Amino acid sequence: MSEYQRTALYDRHVAMGGRMVPFAGYELPVQYLTGPLAEHHAVRKAAGLFDIDHMGQFILKGPDAELFLQYVQPRDVGQMKVWEAEYSFLCYSDGTFIDDIFIYRLPDEWWIIVNAANRHKDLFWLDTHIAQFDCELEDISDPTYMLALQGPQAQTVLQKLTDLDLNQVTFHTAARAKVAGIDTLIGATGYTGEYGYEMFFPEEKAVAMWESLLEAGKPEGLLACGLAARDSLRFEACLPLYGHEISASAEPVGARLSWVCDWDKGPWLGREAVLKNKLEKNGRWLVGLEMVDRGVPREHYPVAVGDEVVGWVTTGMKSPTLDKFLALAYVPSPYNKLGTELMVLIRNKPKGAKVVKRPFYLPAYRR
């Protein structure tokens, strides 16, 4: 038996030619026979379907649920309306990241979506702070399945399978409906930079939902997509990935995520440390780099000025959409200005790069 967990779609992935690899404790498809480039372009031009059941889902409910959420993360959830969804994160007391999360405000409960590798850590951390609040936190990750349908044709595809008017499910909102006859929570959220949906439904319906979506999307050119395309898509949109741009050794200000923080809502865990970083501005900053010299800037490659190493690459690759060699990297404040010339040490050879605007790519609906 495999030492890794398998989602309910494992056999379907294998039957479709998916190349299965370990990721966050699961065996997941990194690509299908179509290849990661075709999958990437399908999401940018049409639509792609992702198995993301490795993600974790928690339900929070009770009289003090809102108070608890206000305390454990920086966003003012009191400003969220029912059926809204927002990005946020959890911080240690020193202001570094525990994880980044998505919060859904539903009529009688809150849903918290967490990264797969951090599911048990996040749950334990939240549990250690919940005792003083009159609310309950439940991990529903195992019985809940999660798929992502992303791309400019995602709405067209999904609308074929539901009576819900998807025009009413605007960006960062959610709704409950039947999709292919299956009770589903639909969130207008995602991790590709394109408009699309993340769907939550009972695990036993995974195969039926997967097949229904793939069949409905054939006329639009929908492709099943793997981890490789998911990474290149989120990279072009400069969406952070835990273990790369954010980690227990990174903090929100340098990661360019302090816009999430609502400073006027009252205390939250990590607030004073994050506020100090915001006011002092003396840490490392996440920047976008475009290679001037030919070379592929990979994760962990050093970034240098002259003979001095000043930072490192968090993610780098050739952008399939833009046809450029790009990277995200941490550098000190003297070197974070647009146009600054830096060197990336590629196999210990210095290659020229320059700081460029992020995100690298914006979809048509955001331009």
Pairwise CA distance, residues 285 & 311, whole Å: 9
Q: Domain 56-139 maps to which CATH number in 3.30.70.260, 3.40.50.620, 3.30.70.1400, 1.20.1730.10? A: 3.30.70.1400
C-alpha to C-alpha distances, 90 to 121, 154, 247, 329, nearest whole angstrom: 11, 30, 11, 22
Q: Which pLDDT belongs to residue 62?
A: 98
User: What is the maximal distance between C-alpha atoms in the chain?
Assistant: 62
Pairwise CA distance, residues 50 & 352, whole Å: 36
Q: Which spans in 46-177 are helix H?
A: 65-72, 119-127, 154-159
Pairwise CA distance, residues 43 & 196, whole Å: 10
Contacts of 11 (CB under 8 A, 6+ apart): none
pLDDT tens by residue, the chain, 367 residues: 568 999 999 999 999 999 999 999 999 999 999 999 999 999 999 999 999 999 999 999 999 999 999 999 999 999 999 999 999 999 999 999 999 999 999 999 999 999 999 999 999 999 999 999 999 999 999 999 999 999 999 999 999 999 999 999 999 999 999 999 999 999 999 999 999 999 999 999 999 999 999 999 999 999 999 999 999 999 999 999 999 999 999 999 999 999 999 999 999 999 999 999 999 988 899 999 999 999 999 999 999 999 999 999 999 999 999 999 999 999 999 999 999 999 999 999 999 999 999 999 998 777 6
Q: Which pLDDT belongs to residue 349?
A: 96
Q: Which pLDDT belongs to residue 1?
A: 56
Q: Which pLDDT belongs to residue 363?
A: 84
The shares of helix, strand and coil residues in the chain, as percent rounded to the nearest 5, are: 25, 35, 40
Residue length, the chain?
367
Look-up: residue for tokens 């039926």? 208
Domain extents in the chain? 5-54+142-236, 56-139, 283-366
Q: What is the pTM of this model?
A: 0.96
Strands 196-202 and 302-305 come out as unpaired
CATH superfamily membership of 5-54+142-236: Probable tRNA modification gtpase trme; domain 1 (3.30.1360.120)
Listed residue (239, 234, 253) closest to 97, CA to CA: 253
Q: Which pLDDT belongs to residue 154?
A: 98
Pairwise CA distance, residues 296 & 126, whole Å: 39
C-alpha to C-alpha distances, 56 to 12, 47, 290, 327, nearest whole angstrom: 21, 24, 34, 28
Pairwise CA distance, residues 38 & 21, whole Å: 19
CATH superfamily membership of 283-366: Aminomethyltransferase beta-barrel domains (2.40.30.110)
